[in-house]
Structure 1
C-alpha cells in the first residue's frame, strides 16, 4: 500500500570549496546555495526498520555476492510471504489421470472376475449329456456327481476327463458351461469293430482291443467275430485284423460274419452270404475299403455269382 505521507524537504548547505574543482551549488567566494533533497519513509511490512536502500559492497541488488553465490539466509522467503505456485504441466496431469483410470478399471475387472469364479450363483446344478450309445446319460451324470455345487468357471475339461476315466467306453470328452448352473458334456465313445468270444459271452472290442460291452447273443450285434477269442487280443494278428475292420464303413461292417488272419499280410474277411474277401495286409486300408464298398454295390449275376472279392491290390481288384 502506497504511503500517504508527504515528502519532507530539508535545506542543505553546500560545502565551501575553492579552486576550479568547485561542485555545483557552491560559490567560489565562500558563499553557499541552498540544495533541496527529498526522502520518503516507507513502513516496513515485517515490522523492521526500513532499509536505507544502500547495497553493501560486494553484493548485488538481488542479495547475491559478486561471485554469484547467494548470501546465507538472505534469499529465503519470510514467514507469511506469498510464494508463486506454477501450474503442473498438462502432459503430466493427463498421464496421472490416465494411470488413475487404468488402475480403477483393473480393480473393477479383478472384482468382477473374483465374483464370477467364486460366486455361488454360478454353482453347478444340472449336467446334460450327449453323444452316448454304449453308455447311458445317467452313467455319465453319476460319474460327474462330485462336481455338483462347484462354480462353473472352476470346472475344467481335464477335471471332467479325470472323473470319466473309469468309463472305458469314453474315448474323449468336452464340456461347455451354460450359465447360470448347467454343464453340457459331449462324449465321444469308442467304436466297437468286432466280437471276440470269451467263454459263453461275446465281448465287443474296438481297434485297440478295448472291451466295451458284453453280449450273449452275437446275432444281436452286427459285428464280425474275430477268430482266436479273447486270447488273441494284444497280439499282432489281432491288431492287423482290428485295423482292417476299423477302416470299413458301418454298412460294410454289418455284412461281415467273421474275420481271421493267418499272418499280418494275409487278412481275410467273411460275408454273411458266404463270400470271402481277400484283404492282404493293412496298407492302403482306406483305399481298399472304398474299392470293396463299390464292388459290393454291383448287382449280383445269378448265372455267375461272385465267391471271392480280392482287394489286396486295390488299384487292380479281382472278383471270381
Structure 2
C-alpha cells in the first residue's frame, strides 16, 4: 500500500562566501548581470537594469577676447535665412542693373534708320535732316522730348509720336498743323492754321482749295483774324473746299463767301460745331432754279434762314 507521506526537500546549506574578488566575480560598470562565486557550486547570479547615460551636451566654443573668455553660441536659423534672402536680392539687383546699363549704352542699339510718316506740308527728308543729330545715339536714350526739340524749327509740326524698333530703327509719326485759309500778302499767299501760324507759301491760291483772308492778320487785327480762323477750323473739309474767302467786320459778324458767289452769315464763333453741321445740311439740300439761294444765315443755328 503506498505511503501517504509527502517527500520533503531541504535546500543545501550555503557556506559563507568571501567578498567579491576578481576570482569570484564583480558587478559590471553598466549594471549588467555578473556571476558571483562559482556557478558550479550553485552560487547566486544577480542582475540589475541598465540605465542609459544622457547624451553629452554640444560643446560651446570659447573665444578669448582681450584676455576674457567669450562664449559663442550658434546663430539662430531665422537670422541666417534673412541673410540669404538679402544676399539673393542684392545679387539680382546688381545683375539687372548691369543688364540695363549694357542696354542703354550698348552700340548695338545705336540709331541708324529714321522712318517718317504723316507728312503732307513737309517731306520725310526734311524731318530726317532735322533729326540727324540723333543718328548713332543708343535707342534707349532717345525720347519724344529729344525729337520734339529738334523738330521745333519746323512750324508745320504740331506734335509727334515716337516708337523705337530695335536694334537700330526709330519710327517718327508727324502730326502737322492743318491749314484753314490763305492770307494774301502782295502777290503771295500764306497758308495759315487756326492759330495764325504760317505753314507754307504759294503763288497759286487755287492749288490749296482754301478760302482767302485778304490783308492777313495784321490788316484786320488779331482778334478778328482769330475769330475768322476759328470758324474756318470748324468747317468740314468738303465745305471748306467750297469757300472762296472769309471776312469779319467784328468778332460777332464773320461772313464767308462760296466759290459760286453765295454768302454765309456766320455771326460769332460760338456753337461753331453746330453751325457747321447746319450749314453742311443746307448746302446738300436740292436747289430751286426759280428761287436760287443767295444767303445762308446760320448765326442762330437752331433757326437757320436762307434767302
Classify the TM-score, shorter chain: 0.7 to 0.9
**What corresponds to 2:147 in structure 1?**
160
Please list the CA deviations of residues 204-243 of structure 1 after superposition, one character each: whole Å capped at 9, or x if unmatched.
Answer: 0111111101111111111000122353376211111011
Q: Does 1:236 align with 2:232?
A: no
Deviation at 1:245, TM superposition (A): 0.3
Deviation at 1:156, TM superposition (A): 1.5
**What corresponds to 2:3 in structure 1?**
none
User: Which one of the candidate residues 235, 241, 246 is aligned to 1:254?
Assistant: 241
TM-score by length of 1: 0.72
User: Which one of the candidate residues 96, 118, 122 is aligned to 1:135?
Assistant: 122
Distance 1:303 1:99, change over 3 A: same
User: What secondary structure does 1:185 align onto?
Assistant: strand
Q: How does 1:149-228 map to 2 (within 5 A)?
A: 149-228=136-215
TM-score by length of 2: 0.75
Q: Distance in 2 between matches of 1:268 and 1:139?
A: 37
User: What secondary structure does 2:264 align onto?
Assistant: strand
Distance 1:153 1:234, change over 3 A: farther
**What corresponds to 2:260 in structure 1?**
273
Q: Is the CA contact 1:174–1:186 (under 8 Å) kept in the aligned structure 2? A: yes
**What corresponds to 1:41 in structure 2?**
none
User: What secondary structure does 1:259 align onto?
Assistant: strand
**What corresponds to 2:29 in structure 1?**
none
Q: Distance in 2 between matches of 1:148 and 1:158?
A: 16
**What corresponds to 1:313 in structure 2?**
300
Please list the CA deviations of residues 242-271 of structure 1 after superposition, one character each: whole Å capped at 9, or x if unmatched.
Answer: 110011111110010000011111000011
User: Which one of the candidate residues 130, 134, 148 is aligned to 2:135?
Assistant: 148
Deviation at 1:273, TM superposition (A): 1.3
**What corresponds to 1:284 in structure 2?**
271
Number of matched pairs: 241
Please list the CA deviations of residues 141-176 of structure 1 after superposition, one character each: whole Å capped at 9, or x if unmatched.
Answer: 000000000001111211111100110100111211
Unaligned residue ranges in structure 1 (runs of 5+):
1-75
User: What secondary structure does 2:246 align onto?
Assistant: strand
Distance 1:269 1:306, change over 3 A: same
Q: How does 1:26-105 map to 2 (within 5 A)?
A: 86-105=73-92
User: What secondary structure does 2:244 align onto?
Assistant: strand
Unaligned residue ranges in structure 2 (runs of 5+):
1-61, 65-69
User: What secondary structure does 1:207 align onto?
Assistant: coil
User: What secondary structure does 2:148 align onto?
Assistant: helix
